[in-house]
């Protein structure tokens, strides 16, 4: 079985040293979120996930979910783990206090979510989707809906999912056919089928709350005519308890490449009673609250899988004897040296490490902005933080899941043939990671969102918080004469210059020909992400350089050494990405489609 130890020391480093965690306590509502409290929650979460969820991960993958006469049965052990998860308060961690939540920072929630996804991604999806549904209801639901549903969803007795995709339309939701007809007492009758509904049916909770996109009879065509409805699996009585079954049923479950422990369902709605969430014909605004939360959550899945795959690859490289070091036997008393002595193995391990630790810093940076956007008293701070989150959401989703899949595959490569065998657990990480690049908007769609919406939105306002912060930091560092930081400062300055160049090019060319911006989008997203990680790695190196003494000298030296690897071996990708972008889309779009 794979091993895992929650990366508590690195989480503390990012939370407390890279970003001063005590700053969050200054935000209204977060006064109790002391670093000591955060540390205690992380320790307990690590213990719970390592002891309760990790042992279920391979078992859940092998057993999978079963569909029997309309019922979906989850793998053995999932229901007790689900109950323990909510009994320990993890489902209520960041939820609003007025509905039974603990009201702690979203930053803490992100860190716990990473640990959850490392130990059992399929399980983590059940409470993760409920949390996203709660956020949409909280933001757009009526007071009656919030009072009726949120307390039960936050305590885990009820769960929640979103229902978007239909068999004939995935990303293009303007084509959806699910219908909504006005019913009695402000209710609606929902009819249609949805596919690929994660956690769509199970018996771990007493009720499941579906957030369903549908179209009313008088709705405009396309995406502007979509509304969002709350549809409970069981009708809720006047006393707030589940009653008779609603017109909702599971038609089948999908047979998937990975995440076998999560029930991915075809859900049928037959005159099901539902309730409008938000404004009629404006459902996408409400759904995007849940979808954007899900996109950030999927990014955390990529990070979590990357971390656990890296940890196991390191263990294997230390223990597996294979060949001799090129300079001569490193361990002459053994029949062979461990894999760790070989340069290419070290290249793979350091690549995994640099991306994982960089992405962890990126995720916490974005999470802190979420907290600022929702709790800061200064309106400009809130606006800047909101713009930053909007800009970074497609980057977190796409880049961190690309990295998760790359890292899982690279970790399998470290194992060689053993990685391809089920009992080692690595091939499950590869299969589980693959879906993260597809759902909640495929990564190509995230790239289009970045260049087509987030860049031009509000005359480029979304870019300012990121560009201004990096530019100001580089200006400050231009006077830093510390020899160990100089190559890193110069490397970031060059990469940032490339990002500025291609951003201007995309803005200009996109006005002339939108296919130019679209053709550059995926390369641009990766270039942007690498610059963001470069900025964070430079800051982490600076902290480590100042602290590289005492009992934890090895920890801080490893930070400096990983930063050096990132700047020498990974950040230079920005040069080739810029060249590819500036070449234009001609070689793609001029190609004769009949020749494919």
252 and 134 in a single domain? The answer is no
Question: Last residue of a domain, which of 284, 299, 318?
Answer: 284
Instruction: Tell me: pLDDT of 260 over 80.
Output: yes
**Per-residue confidence at 548, pLDDT binned at 50, 70, 90?**
confident
Q: Does one domain contain both 478 and 574? A: yes
Task: Name the residue with higher pLDDT: 240 or 57.
Answer: 57
What is the token pair recorded at 232?
């409970």
Q: How many Cα atoms within 13 Å fall on the side-chain side of residue 574? A: 26
In-domain check, residue 36: yes
Boundary-marking domain end, from 267, 284, 301: 284
171-185, 379-393, 421-435, range with the lowest pLDDT: 171-185
Q: What is the pLDDT of residue 269?
A: 98
Q: What is the distance between the alpha carbons of residues 78 and 101, in angstroms, rounded to a whole number?
A: 23
* Mean predicted lDDT score pLDDT of the chain: 95
How many Å apart are CA 225 and CA 246, to the nearest integer? 25
Identify whether residues 12 and 135 lie together within a single domain. Answer: yes
Distance CA 180, CA 210 (A): 14
- How many H helices and E strands in the chain? 17, 11
Q: Total domain count for the chain?
A: 3
Same domain as 222, residue 101: no
Q: Does residue 91 lie within any of the structural domains? A: yes
The per-residue pLDDT for 108 is 98
Closest CA to 72 of 263, 317, 328, 357: 263
pLDDT of residue 468: 97
Band of the pLDDT at 510, cuts 50, 70, 90?
confident
Please, which residues bridge with residue 234 across strands?
245
- Sequence-ordered list of residues with C-beta below 8 angstroms from that of 28, at least 6 positions apart, any chain: 375, 377
Task: Choose among 165, 155, 156, 96: nearest CA to 126.
Answer: 156
Predicted confidence band of residue 530 (pLDDT cuts 50, 70, 90): very high
Q: Over 230-273, what HEC string results?
A: EEECEEECCCCCEEEECCEEEEEECCCCCCCCCCEEEEEEEEEE
Determine the Cα–Cα distance for residues 409 and 187; give it in Å rounded to an integer.
49
In this prediction, residues 32-54 reach a mean pLDDT of 97
Establish if 361 belongs to a structural domain.
Answer: no
Mean pLDDT for 306-332 is 96
Is the model's pLDDT at 285 over the cut of 90? no
The pLDDT tens digits of the residues spanning 106-133 come to 999 999 999 999 999 999 999 999 999 9
What residues have CB less than 8 Å from 47, skipping those under 6 apart? none
Mean pLDDT of 266-290: 92
pLDDT reported for residue 505:
96
Pair 88, 189 in one domain: no
pLDDT digits (tens, 9 = 90+) for 219-245: 888 888 899 999 999 999 988 899 999
C-alpha triplet 572, 575, 581: angle, nearest 5° = 140
Sort 273 into a burial class: Cβ within 10 Å, 0-12 / 13-18 / 19+. Answer: buried
Instruction: Look at the alpha carbons of 337, 341, 342, 346 in this order and tell me if their dihedral is positive or negative.
Output: positive
> Residue 370 falls within a domain, yes or no?
no
Could you tell me if 65 and 34 lie in one domain?
A: yes
Residues 136 and 236 in one domain: no
Q: Are residues 105 and 182 in the same domain?
A: no
Q: 3-class DSSP state for residue 384? A: helix
- Tell whether 384 is covered by a domain: no
Burial class (CB in 10 A: 0-12, 13-18, 19+), 87: exposed
Q: What is the pLDDT confidence band of residue 551, given thresholds at 50, 70 and 90? A: confident
pLDDT tens per residue, range 167-196 = 988 777 778 899 999 999 899 999 999 999
Does residue 200 sit in the same domain as residue 134? no
Distance CA 284, CA 164 (A): 10
Instruction: Indicate which residues carry an active-site annotation.
Output: 440
Q: Is residue 29 part of a domain?
A: yes
Which one of 227, 261, 284 terminates a domain? 284
DSSP code per residue over 326-343: TTS-SSTTSSS-BGGGSH
Buried b (16+ CB within 10 A) or exposed e, 214-224: bbbeebeeeee
Strands 226-232 and 187-198: unpaired
Relative to beta strand 187-198, strand 207-215 is unpaired
DSSP-H helix ranges across 340-459: 343-375, 379-415, 426-436, 443-449
> Is the distance from CB of 28 to CB of 137 less than 8 angstroms?
no
Percent of the chain at pLDDT above 90? Answer: 90
73 and 65 Cβ atoms separated by less than 8 Å: yes
Write down how long the chain is: 596
When pLDDT is averaged across residues 308-313 and rounded to a whole number, the result is 98
Domain that holds residue 480: 463-584
Residue 532 has pLDDT above 80, yes or no: yes
Q: Is residue 134 part of a domain?
A: yes
Are residue 54 and residue 93 in the same domain, yes or no? Answer: yes
Residue 287 has pLDDT above 90, yes or no: no
**479 and 532: one domain?**
yes
Residue 274 and residue 283 in contact, taking contact as beta carbons nearer than 8 Å: no
Which pLDDT belongs to residue 278? 94
Question: Does 163 lie in the same domain as 136?
Answer: no
CA distance 374 to 242: 33
Q: Which CATH number belongs to the domain containing residue 233 in this structure? A: 2.40.110.20
Instruction: CATH number of the domain at 19, please.
Output: 1.10.540.10
Q: Domain for residue 261, yes or no? A: yes
């Amino acid at each position: 079985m794979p091993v895992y130890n929650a990366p508590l020391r690195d989480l503390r480093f990012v939370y407390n040293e890279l970003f001063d965690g005590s700053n969050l306590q200054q935000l209204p509502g977060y006064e109790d979120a002391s670093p000591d409290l955060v540390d205690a929650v992380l320790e307990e979460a690590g213990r719970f996930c390592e002891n309760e969820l990790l042992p279920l991960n391979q078992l859940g993958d092998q057993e999978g979910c079963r569909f029997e006469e309309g019922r979906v049965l989850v793998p053995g052990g999932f229901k007790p783990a689900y109950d323990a998860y909510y009994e320990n308060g993890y489902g209520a961690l960041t939820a609003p206090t007025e509905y039974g939540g603990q009201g702690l920072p979203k930053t803490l929630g992100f860190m716990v979510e990473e640990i959850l996804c490392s130990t059992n991604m399929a399980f983590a999806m059940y409470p993760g989707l409920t949390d996203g549904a709660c956020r949409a209801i909280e933001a757009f639901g009526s007071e009656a809906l919030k009072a009726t549903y949120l307390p039960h969803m936050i305590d885990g007795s009820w769960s929640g999912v979103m229902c978007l995709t239909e068999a004939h339309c995935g990303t293009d939701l303007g084509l959806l056919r699910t219908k909504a007809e006005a019913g009695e007492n402000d209710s609606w009758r929902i009819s249609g089928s949805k596919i690929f509904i994660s956690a769509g049916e199970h018996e771990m909770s007493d009720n499941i709350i579906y957030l369903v996109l549908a179209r009313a009879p008088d709705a405009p065509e396309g995406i502007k005519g979509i509304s969002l409805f709350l549809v409970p699996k069981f009708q809720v009585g006047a006393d707030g308890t589940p009653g008779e079954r609603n017109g909702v049923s599971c038609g089948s479950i999908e047979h998937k490449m990975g995440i076998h422990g999560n029930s991915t369902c075809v859900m049928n709605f037959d005159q099901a009673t539902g309730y409008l969430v938000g404004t009629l014909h404006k459902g996408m605004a409400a759904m995007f609250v849940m979808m954007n939360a899900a996109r950030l959550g999927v990014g955390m899945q990529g990070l979590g899988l990357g971390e656990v795959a890296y940890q196991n690859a390191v263990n294997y490289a230390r223990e597996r004897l294979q060949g001799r070091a090129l300079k001569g036997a490193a361990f002459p008393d053994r029949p062979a040296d461990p894999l760790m002595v070989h340069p290419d193995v070290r290249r793979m391990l350091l690549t995994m490490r640099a991306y994982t630790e960089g992405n962890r810093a990126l995720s916490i940076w974005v999470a802190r902005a979420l907290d600022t956007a929702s709790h800061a008293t200064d309106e400009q701070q809130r606006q800047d933080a909101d713009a930053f989150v909007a800009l970074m959401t497609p980057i977190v989703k796409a880049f961190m899941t690309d990295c998760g899949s790359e890292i899982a595959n690279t970790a399998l490569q470290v194992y060689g043939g053993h990685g391809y065998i089920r009992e080692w657990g690595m091939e499950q990480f590869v299969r589980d990671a693959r879906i993260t690049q597809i759902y909640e908007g495929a990564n190509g769609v995230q790239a289009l969102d970045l260049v087509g919406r987030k860049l031009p939105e509000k005359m480029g306002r979304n870019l300012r918080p990121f560009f201004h912060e990096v530019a100001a930091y580089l200006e400050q560092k231009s006077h830093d004469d510390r020899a160990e930081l100089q190559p890193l400062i110069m490397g970031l300055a060059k990469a940032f210059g490339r990002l500025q160049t291609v951003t201007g090019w995309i803005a200009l060319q996109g006005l002339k020909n939108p296919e130019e911006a679209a053709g550059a989008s995926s390369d641009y997203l990766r270039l942007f992400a690498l610059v963001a990680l470069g900025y964070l790695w430079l800051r982490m190196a600076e902290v480590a350089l100042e602290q590289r003494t005492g009992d934890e000298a090895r920890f801080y030296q490893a930070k400096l050494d990983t930063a050096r690897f990132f700047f020498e071996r990974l950040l230079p990708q920005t040069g080739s990405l810029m060249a590819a972008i500036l070449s234009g889309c001609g070689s793609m779009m001029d190609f004769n489609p009949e020749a494919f």
